[in-house]
Amino acid sequence: MQTKGFSSRIDYLFVVGSCLLIVLSVVVLRSIAPELFPLYFLYLFLAGLIFVIFSAIDFEILSLFSKHLYGLSIVLLILPLLIGQVTRGAVRWIPIGALTIQPAEIVRPLLLIFFANYLTEKEFTGRRLFASLFLLAPPVVLILIQPSLGVATLTVVGFLGTLLATQVKKKYFIPAFGIFLVLIPLLWYVMADYQKARILTFLDPGKDPHGAGYNSIQAMITVGAGKFLGRGLGKGVQTQLSFLPERHTDFIFASIAEEMGFLGTFLLLAGLFFIFWRLSGIITEAKSPAARAFVSGIFLSLFVQTFVHIGMNMGLLPITGVPLPLVSAGGSALLGTSLAFALALGCRKEKFS
């Protein structure tokens, strides 16, 4: 096991896709939310630094500390409840100087390192499956307490990605699916009122167009307003006049669609395609079963995150507050995604061509 340099692992298409998304993000954010700068440049610098450092670390080395990373994740998730900053009734962020960090975003790839190793280090049995579910419960519950339903859901999705990449027997999916069906109705009772309202208004946005259905309606109007070339940077009616709420985070796709049009969204989807394409290549060429399971978890969680974000922006899915990877404003999400990508690069057998 050796620690290899960044240049020995670099995947140029992966980097091109990532840089394309970041450039689009900066261009649009400077137009619709200039108040984020110059502080956001600091998050970008830290994300680049994390990418370079952790892409040089072999996944097998990190695997040796998988149990420690799980313990560290639990500690980091407890910290917001003790010293966190309350924002809009949620306690998700820890202030660090001028920065605010959401540990739930940072620990997602760390948890996947643990579960990828735990699920592959020994023969997979029903007991091991239930043990892994028991270990998954504490971080998910801690994230839900904050509360952050979107991040908790993506954490579970990432776990499912690692699980599907193991030698799990199909017979285990039958009781798991049964448990899932039982929990769906129960989930309704633990949802906050605003979360229930989002689902109800998704089914009928026109029922409350000035209340719970407002975001969904404005997002669909914004997406359609850009047409082919967009209204132009700084000229979006929905974004510049703040008709579209959370235009720089939850609805960044709609903002790009209005100001840069179909051309901008095409470039956005092209960047995402390159990233998912190269991640799928790493899965097929992973150096170990644990590495394959880890990258599978990263792939599935980011794919679902992207699908949900774009879907809710186009009125195809309920509003969930899920950011678009590397594009939505959010320092913690940016750092967590950069960490996930860097760790994924350390999972391939040979250096990239």
- The answer to the question of residue 353 being in a domain is no
Select the more confidently predicted residue: 247 or 179: 247
Assigned domain for 313 exists: yes
Q: DSSP string covering 121-178, please? A: SS---HHHHHHHHHHHHHHHHHHHHTT-HHHHHHHHHHHHHHHHTTT--GGGHHHHHH
Any domain includes 37: yes
Does 73 map to a domain? yes
Residue 16 backbone phi and psi in degrees, to 5: -60, -45
Distance CA 108, CA 156 (A): 10
Q: Which residue has the tokens 């774009």?
A: 310
What's the domain count of the chain? 1
* pLDDT single digits (tens) 250-270: 899 999 999 999 999 999 999
- 1 part of a folded domain: no
Once rounded to an integer, what is the mean pLDDT over residues 200-209? 61
pLDDT the model gives residue 218 = 85
Domain region containing 33: 6-345
Residue scoring higher pLDDT (236 or 256) = 256
Which letter, b or e, does each residue of 129-149 get, where b requires 16 or more Cβ atoms within 10 Å of its Cβ?
Answer: beebeebbeebbebbbbbbbb
Does residue 317 fall inside a structural domain? Answer: yes
Among all chains, which residue has been given the structure tokens 């974004």?
239
Higher pLDDT: 29 or 128? It is: 29
Cβ neighbors of 323 (< 8 A, separation 6 or more) are 249, 250, 252, 305, 309, 329, 330, 333
Q: Give 353's pLDDT tier (boundaries 50, 70, 90).
A: very low
Q: Does residue 230 fall inside a structural domain?
A: yes
Comparing 192-196, 228-232, 254-258, the range with the smallest average pLDDT is: 192-196
Residue 259's pLDDT is what? 92
pLDDT at 164 (0 to 100)? 87
Structural domain contains residue 352:
no
The H or E element that residue 189 is part of is helix 173-190
Banded model confidence at residue 240, pLDDT cuts 50, 70, 90: confident
Mean pLDDT for 328-340 is 93
pTM here is: 0.86
Query: pLDDT grade, residue 221 (50/70/90)?
Result: confident
- Output the pLDDT for position 296: 95
pLDDT reported for residue 352: 44
